[in-house]
Chains A and B, each alone.
Chain A
Amino acid sequence: MSESTEPLKKTPLNQVEKELGGKMVDFGGWELPVQFSGILEEHEAVRTKVGVFDVSHMGELTVKGPQALELLQRATCNDVAKLADGRIHYNGLLYPNGGFVDDILIYQNDPNDFFVVVNASNTDKDFEWLQQAAEGLDVEVRNVSGDYAQLAIQGPEAERVLQAMTDVALADIKYYRFATGNVDGAPSIVSRTGYTGEDGFEVYVAPEHAPRIMKKFVDAGAKPCGLGARDTLRLEAKMALYGNDIDHSTTPIEADLGWIVKLEKGDFAGRDVIAREKEEGPRRKLVGFEMIDRGIARHGYPVVDGGEEIGVVTSGTHSPTLKKAIGLAYLPLDKSAQGSEFTVLIRGKETRARVIPTPFYKRAK
């Protein structure tokens, strides 16, 4: 992945992960475990019990000041004014052409103080982008990524395992809300969020406490999980992956993320393009599919029609829960209806797939 020759960056959990048998890989310049015991086993643990992920590579920014809200409103498509203290939402940081700078989570401490969680490989870009956008506004943007390790504890037993280690009343934290408190004695931000489609929490804590907390999670029965299971879990839940399903060339409308676009909130970067797409329909749309023929259509495989390339697969895998091949692809709007069949070239071979409803997996409440 990494094209530079710089040494890989390591999270505070690197040593613990190696001790736990993590198979380490280069993930966008970070040395992270792709798996421990195996992707299928880790996936299953999160769906049925509890697993723990190191997501310390994620970036964290703070946006503070009297015009913090104004900056975020201008730079993103979701309505930040609708947040309340202690609440979180999913949002898009957009270019003027409507493409994604990044997809982000915004945590509101108060209307003048936001905590923004961004994709690891986009951290510097997002920071610079927001700093530029902040010119002339009374707001300070800081990159505080080095101050935090991040652990995601996910699965139906996540609350029980985490509650035994924290003074935060987890039952009081609803989905996409957060609280601050201590986890194993260390000051932390605890949010009911995740990238798995399962119940669970994400814990932000100073790096020096993270190895101890990770070990305690594992001792309490959480299965250490790697990037492989993180990818199969998020894809079943149809959560977008920046760099695969969305990037600078895709808009939220194309990416089927219209629910994070709030045109009524006022002007923001990319609004004109998105308003037009909302009215006239986008050129193409991200859809979920299952394979009809055998094989797995993976990221980058072309969708063809009569020898012509009409779309592209952005993510694809074997779904451990559904036990079949699934994926996401951009298709022309008129070919994107539920049930439509299309052809993917899998290493040169024409292979049939069908558009199906998403998310592929939804947990029972």
Chain B
Amino acid sequence: MNAPERRNLLMTFEVTPTSHLLADFRARGGYAAVEKALRTMTPKEITEEVTASGIQGRGGANFSAGRKWGVINLSDGQPHYLCANADEGEPGTFKDRWILENAPHLLLESMLIAAYALQVRHAFIYIRGEFDLPYRRIAGALDEAYAAGYYGKPLFGTDFTCDLIVYRGAGSYVCGEASGLLSSLEGKRGYPRNRPPRLTVRGLYQRPTVVNNVETLSNIAGIIMDGTEAFKSFGTRKSPGTRLVSISGHINKPGVYEVEPGRPFREFIFDTCGGVPHGRKVKAIIPGGISTKVVTGEEVDRVRLDNEDLATVGSGMGSGGMVVIAEGTCMVRLLQVLLRFYHHESCGQCTPCREGMGWMHRIIDRIVAGEGRPEDIEQLKKISAWNDGNTICGMGDAAGYAALGILAKFGDEFEHYITHKRSRHDGNLECRAST
């Protein structure tokens, strides 16, 4: 591996059987940032620092974390809540899992800083129900942190105390949406809520609440410790810092990588991740979870790995869940898989997503069965467009993107399938040596 220099913010240590434990974390300088924050900074200064760092949310929407925090009025006399969104359910995305498994104390420390900045007495981690090891690791780390006095006790001579509750979800995709997550956390059905009001105005238990992605929060400790300039020296001007990217699919070295935005996409795929098995070409890549639009192999060659460049080809970094699709894969079957997922996971609250996803799934099933009609492609596009911007939550919007992206760039494969009643690529979803 020809990595010239480690340019990492999160993956700064070697993963060993003990690297997730408090002792190892302290040896790496852990819990120094929270001490610095509490001893030398006011809550307002921390929020300003985070805003100045320009860090964007890592959950997929890329909203400025500092601006989200800035909405919280510290002197409104209400309780505020902080919740880490560890309900990582976007297909293809498993980067938060790395943090929860290998650096749980980094999240816990960062959440302490965030809780102090937002004057939060009770913070929450909403963790996906299917996460077993991550849950055991974060719960174990929390026990250690309580025992060491970081949680539940006044810290560093201040009167600031924070309690943290780890809550396991039951595995719904929509509970990864911030407001659906809070509904679920309150013990209700995980239906997303209407905006306005924003969650920072009325969130958990109708109180101002900040919900941040695990990776976003985990960066806070570094920002406070090393300052905004150090953070901004990574990445691009608009996408500062690093991104954890989980890569899977037809790739030689799948896994979680920390990348600096601004790297050439192709270099990341072929140099870092070892390219596509059997020397195949890249047909397409879903760059940031299946709700971002697909990027073709040709586009991969010319764009850089950041939001601004990916936007020029109609996509984005999303949640960092990359799925590589090799030459010879049937895009019709692929879309069928994606639409089955959306149909299965649509919460059913609002009409466009509830009815639209089922309808699209039935259409694509019919196409795959060789009973497609020429007008089906238009109908799929129409239903996707009805969802866009017209649903209660962002996931409803995004549910249409997958189909819109694939249909726009691989529409000819669908026409071929409908006309010839069979796949151009034999319905292949795997990347085998021959064929």
A and B form one complex: no
Contacts from B to A (Cβ < 8 Å): none
Contacts from A to B (Cβ < 8 Å): none
